[in-house]
């Protein structure tokens, strides 16, 4: 009886310990999932200096269209949205180091291949780029993978 209780206690302890490291939903080790996802994510940063004489409503509409790319950009194979995150807005930094930049956007992609398709081939993105041609004085783009130096 004592031996049976001891064995049950050991089994329960092992099961509890293992469950801490595994997601119950898909039984993937959490630490592997988080590390792989973080490593794969590619950040695409876009900074705009809109022309000084650009109509304020046109600038706002362009920014709204940029944010809509998260839903409008569809993967060529699955025909589903592939941008995993998109944030943006008007500069409000007190540092004074903007060098004319007025608006910033941060786009997240799961892979470099998704980013490459977005930049070179995605019809929604290419149409957006064409639509802001007369509004933008300068655009700066910086892409990076978190932790890769």
Is 149 part of a structural domain of the chain? no
Of 113, 101, 121, 122, nearest in space to 143 by CA? 113
- Regarding whether 124 and 82 lie in a shared domain, the answer is yes
Number of separate domains in the chain: 2
- More reliable by pLDDT, 24 or 80: 80
Residues 11 and 66 in one domain: no
23 compared with 139, residue with greater pLDDT: 139
In a domain, 148, yes or no: no
The DSSP 8-state label assigned to residue 81 in this structure reads B
My answer on whether 79 and 8 are in the same domain is: no
> Is the pLDDT at 16 greater than 70, yes or no?
no
Q: CA angle 6-11-15, nearest 5°?
A: 150
Q: What is the pTM of this model?
A: 0.73
Average the pLDDT over each of 5-14, 67-76, 86-95, 110-119 and give the range with the smallest value: 5-14
Q: For the chain, what percentages of helix, strand and coil (3-state, to nearest 5) are there?
A: 45, 25, 30
In this structure, the answer to whether residues 16 and 89 fall within a common structural domain is no
Containing structural domain, residue 14 = 2-32
26 and 67 housed in the same domain: no
Do 69 and 86 have their domain in common? yes
Q: Do residues 23 and 73 share a domain?
A: no
Residue found under tokens 């903007």: 98
């Amino acid at each position: 009886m004592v031996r049976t209780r001891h064995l049950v206690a050991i089994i329960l302890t092992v099961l509890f310990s293992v469950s801490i490291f595994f997601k119950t939903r898909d039984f993937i080790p959490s630490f592997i999932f988080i590390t792989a996802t973080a490593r794969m994510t590619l950040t695409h940063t876009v900074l705009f200096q809109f022309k000084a004489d650009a109509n304020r409503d046109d600038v706002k509409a362009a920014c709204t269209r940029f944010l809509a790319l998260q839903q409008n950009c569809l993967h060529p194979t699955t025909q589903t949205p592939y941008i995993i995150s998109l944030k943006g807005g008007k500069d409000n930094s007190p540092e004074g180091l903007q060098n004319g930049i007025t608006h910033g956007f941060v786009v997240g992609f799961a892979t470099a291949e998704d980013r490459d398709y977005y930049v070179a081939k995605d019809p929604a993105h290419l149409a957006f780029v064409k639509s802001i041609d007369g509004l933008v004085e300068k655009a700066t783009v910086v892409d990076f993978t978190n932790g890769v130096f």
